[in-house]
């Protein structure tokens, strides 16, 4: 039996993640396949504050924000799968491994982030993900990372 893949628009994302401007770095998440995989998108625009200093005259999205966008995509995937909307779920980075940057990401780019769960299950606190970020099919970054999910207590 085939299960329909889920999606999250910006309103749903804000019901799951605590992040807000200027640190909300994912605009939509599609192809959510339970807690297994998802595809997130970030529309990179010139009015983002990090471009004022990174670098003046040559705006480049900082690599750490690309990794953060991948992590936020993973958070949305897990949040949708575990029905964490409006429940104040928090997610904390624990490690970043095998991180490589391959291409500049600049204003006007659409960053596509393909995320997969390497380890983690409903009810578990520690999860491991792998992600690849691309622009127009060209790899911009890849990383594996671990995160701890701080799920609110039921009935609290």
Catalytic machinery residues: 54
Both structure tokens of 98: 């095998």
Closest by alpha carbon to 119, among 145, 92, 151, 85?
A: 145
Q: List beta partners, residue 114.
A: 39, 132
Distance between CA atoms of residues 7 and 12, nearest Å? 9
Closest by alpha carbon to 74, among 102, 36, 115?
A: 115
Closest by alpha carbon to 66, among 108, 37, 99?
A: 99
């Amino acid at each position: 039996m085939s299960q329909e893949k889920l999606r999250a628009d910006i309103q749903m994302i804000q019901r799951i993640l605590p992040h807000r401007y200027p640190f909300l770095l994912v605009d939509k998440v599609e192809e959510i396949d339970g807690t297994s995989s998802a595809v997130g998108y970030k529309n990179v625009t010139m009015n983002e504050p990090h471009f004022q200093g990174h670098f003046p005259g040559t705006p480049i999205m900082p690599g750490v924000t690309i990794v953060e966008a991948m992590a936020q995509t993973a958070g949305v995937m897990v949040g949708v799968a575990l029905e964490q909307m409006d429940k104040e779920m928090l997610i904390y980075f624990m490690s970043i491994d095998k991180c490589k940057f391959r291409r500049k990401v600049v204003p006007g780019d659409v960053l596509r982030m393909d995320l997969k769960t390497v380890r983690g299950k409903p009810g578990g606190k520690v999860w491991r993900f792998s992600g690849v970020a691309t622009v127009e099919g060209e790899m911009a970054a890849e990383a594996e990372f671990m995160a701890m999910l701080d799920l609110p207590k039921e009935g609290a």
